[in-house]
């Protein structure tokens, strides 16, 4: 696996920049060179190098003047290309948005840059975040650095590979049904999905608005906590945001001894690959050895979560993608004879196969005569899932299981079988449906490929989950 030198911790980088021991301009050049040297992995759609260099110079000048430079001074980072950023295009890896330059930045990016961080590049993804492998990008297929014939997971495959290859100390992704945690598992890094609403979605291209969550991909929990601490909290531009924890997210003191951890029965069943089961069971045994009280927990409605997700998610996708009509922004078919042809040609030529598939499914389940049979019933089961998780968290402090039922599969293996591709998310979608926080941390290797362990906590228990995850991280 080709990789550049590992970065120091984010806090260490910022501290050295703020004291003049490191130059922000040198860090940006290091990041840009690493991106250039690893092009064969197709992780990056485009860099924002001109703006990044200007910002780095401004940080260094502020340090020289003795001005305050922030908790992320000079730290380069990479964002999934569905985040609106200045200094380059935002395409969501779709032809329909090719050439679109955002007039403002996502709140998450703004908050990081307000603390001195510098966005250096836009990473590849499944177009509009529709996918589990990053094969649905209209521009390129990102390769897994552990084996270039395999996928990195999706839809945040580009950000995950960016972190694994040390292109930047951290990256931002979106998690609608597992799109941060799945690539984190396949790439052997940390991927965090916060409580729904904890991080503003303003300025992020919408997929499914009731499950979309913004989170970091990092090398370790300490970096995850710092990035979350800066991004989290209410935002007047996003009415779904919630208040941050009054104590913040940096206090990671915790003890596994006596903690009640529930192993999800339904995730350890027949669908789990034997090699993945071996790694996960070994990790769970380490939790027991550390003094945790481990017990099996059953969530009876969990087997229906994937079906529920693939009714609700396409329904919201069909609504959110209706704005791309060729009239206001994005691709427009210039030779159209009338408005109807402009709509049909612009959307027909601009959207890829997976976007069209989800639009059609979503339109169907919302249509007259099918709304009650599919969408309403799915929302009823979603409520049931929320109730079952609430009951489970009365019995245990945390839930644990695999992040995915398999290790990274081969590029092209599931492209012609959408159902098989959707099954990649079978262990991650429930978390999004019920709005709780979850994290994937590296649990070990199987046949040379990483396996992720997933930890879950009740809504708003993000600080406790990160503290627990750091202790588990140390064990593994």
Q: What does the pLDDT look like over 401-448, one tens digit per residue?
A: 999 999 999 999 999 998 899 999 999 999 999 999 999 999 999 999
CATH 3.90.1300.10 fits 10-231, yes or no: yes
Helix ranges (H only) for 327-449 are 339-350, 353-366, 377-395, 418-422, 429-434
List of long-range contacts for 59-66, beta carbons under 8 Å, 24+ apart: 59/17, 59/24, 59/116, 59/118, 60/17, 60/23, 60/24, 60/25, 63/17, 63/18, 63/19, 63/20, 63/24, 64/20
Res 2 pLDDT > 70:
no
**What is the band of 3 on the pLDDT scale with cuts at 50, 70, 90?**
low
Q: How many C-beta atoms surround the C-beta of residue 319 within 10 A?
A: 16
Q: CA geometry: angle at 136 spanning 132 and 142, to 5°?
A: 80
Distance CA 245, CA 432 (A): 20
The 10s digit of each residue's pLDDT in 100-153 is 999 999 999 999 999 999 999 999 999 999 999 999 999 999 999 999 999 999
Locate tokens 């989170």: which residue?
Answer: 215
User: What residues are annotated to the active site?
Assistant: 80, 155, 179
Q: How many C-beta atoms surround the C-beta of residue 61 within 10 A?
A: 12
3-state helix/strand/coil string of 44-104: EEEECHHHHHHHHHHHHHHHHHCCCCCCCCCCEEEEECCECCCCCECCCCCHHHCCCECCC
Q: CA geometry: angle at 335 spanning 333 and 337, to 5°?
A: 105
Distance CA 398, CA 259 (A): 8
Q: Is the CB of residue 75 less than 8 Å from the CB of residue 118?
A: yes
Q: What pLDDT, on a 0 to 100 scale, did the predictor assign at position 5? A: 87
Q: What pLDDT, on a 0 to 100 scale, did the predictor assign at position 143? A: 98
pTM of the shown model: 0.97
Distance CA 412, CA 64 (A): 52
Q: What pLDDT, on a 0 to 100 scale, did the predictor assign at position 328? A: 86
The 10s digit of each residue's pLDDT in 173-204 is 999 999 999 999 999 999 999 999 999 999 99
Distance CA 435, CA 459 (A): 7
Distance CA 295, CA 292 (A): 10
Helix ranges (H only) for 115-240 are 157-164, 181-187, 221-231
Res 329 pLDDT > 90:
no
The 10s digit of each residue's pLDDT in 45-60 is 999 999 999 999 999 9
**What is the band of 89 on the pLDDT scale with cuts at 50, 70, 90?**
very high
Res 393 pLDDT > 90:
yes
Q: Is the CB of residue 363 less than 8 Å from the CB of residue 375?
A: no
* Backbone phi, psi, residue 216, to 5°: -95, 155
Sign of CA dihedral 389, 393, 396, 401: positive
Res 22 pLDDT > 70:
yes
Q: Rg of the Cα trace of the chain?
A: 21
Break the chain down into helix, strand, coil percent, rounded to 5.
Answer: 45, 15, 40
Res 259 pLDDT > 70:
yes
Q: Is the CB of residue 109 less than 8 Å from the CB of residue 83?
A: yes
Res 270 pLDDT > 90:
no
Share of the chain above pLDDT 70, in %: 99
Q: Where are the beta strands (DSSP E) in 134-187?
A: 170-174
Q: How many C-beta atoms surround the C-beta of residue 99 within 10 A?
A: 11
Q: CA geometry: angle at 463 spanning 471 and 438, to 5°?
A: 75
Distance CA 257, CA 111 (A): 36
Q: Is the CB of residue 156 less than 8 Å from the CB of residue 417?
A: no
**Sequence ranges of the domains in the chain:** 10-231
């Amino acid at each position: 696996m080709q990789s550049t030198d590992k970065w120091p911790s984010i806090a260490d980088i910022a501290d050295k920049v703020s004291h003049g021991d490191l130059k922000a301009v040198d860090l940006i050049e290091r990041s840009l060179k690493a991106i250039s040297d690893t092009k064969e992995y197709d992780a990056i759609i485009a860099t924002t190098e001109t703006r990044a260099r200007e910002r780095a110079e401004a940080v260094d000048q502020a340090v020289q003047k003795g001005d305050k430079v922030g908790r992320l001074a000079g730290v380069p980072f990479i964002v999934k290309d569905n985040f609106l950023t200045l200094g380059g295009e935002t395409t969501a890896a779709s032809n329909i948005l090719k050439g679109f330059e955002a007039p403002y930045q996502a709140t998450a990016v703004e908050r990081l840059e307000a603390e001195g961080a510098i966005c250096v590049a836009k990473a590849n993804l499944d177009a509009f975040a529709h996918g589990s492998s990053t094969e649905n990008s209209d521009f390129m297929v990102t390769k897994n650095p552990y084996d270039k014939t395999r996928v990195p997971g999706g839809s945040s495959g580009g950000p995950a590979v960016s972190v694994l290859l040390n292109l930047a100390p951290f990256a931002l992704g979106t998690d609608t049904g597992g799109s941060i945690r799945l690539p984190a598992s396949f790439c052997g890094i940390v991927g965090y999905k916060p409580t729904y609403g904890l991080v503003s979605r303003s300025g992020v291209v919408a997929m499914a608005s009731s499950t979309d969550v913004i989170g970091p991909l990092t090398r370790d929990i300490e970096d995850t906590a710092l990035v979350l601490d800066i991004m989290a909290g209410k935002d007047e531009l996003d009415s779904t945001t919630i208040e941050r924890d009054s104590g913040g997210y940096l206090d990671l003191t915790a003890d596994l001894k006596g903690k009640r951890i529930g192993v999800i029965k339904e995730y350890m069943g027949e669908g789990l690959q034997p090699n993945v089961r071996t790694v996960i069971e070994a990790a769970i045994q380490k939790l027991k050895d550390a003094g945790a009280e481990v017990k099996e927990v059953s969530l009876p409605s969990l087997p229906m979560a994937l079906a529920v997700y693939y009714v609700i998610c396409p329904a919201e996708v069909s609504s959110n993608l209706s704005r791309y009509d060729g009239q206001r922004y994005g691709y427009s078919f210039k030779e159209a004879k009338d408005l109807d042809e402009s709509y049909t040609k612009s959307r027909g030529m601009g959207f890829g196969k997976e976007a069209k598939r989800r639009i059609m499914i979503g339109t169907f389940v919302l249509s007259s005569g099918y709304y009650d049979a599919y969408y309403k019933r799915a929302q009823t089961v979603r409520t049931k899932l929320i109730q079952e998780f609430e009951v489970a968290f009365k019995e245990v402090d945390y839930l644990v299981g695999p992040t995915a039922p398999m290790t990274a599969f081969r590029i092209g293996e599931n492209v012609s079988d959408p159902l098989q591709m959707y099954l990649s998310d079978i262990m991650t979608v429930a978390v999004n449906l019920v709005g709780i926080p979850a994290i994937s941390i590296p649990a070990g290797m199987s046949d040379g490929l990483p396996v992720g362990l997933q930890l879950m906590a009740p809504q708003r228990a993000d600080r406790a989950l990160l503290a627990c995850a750091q202790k588990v991280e140390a064990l593994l």
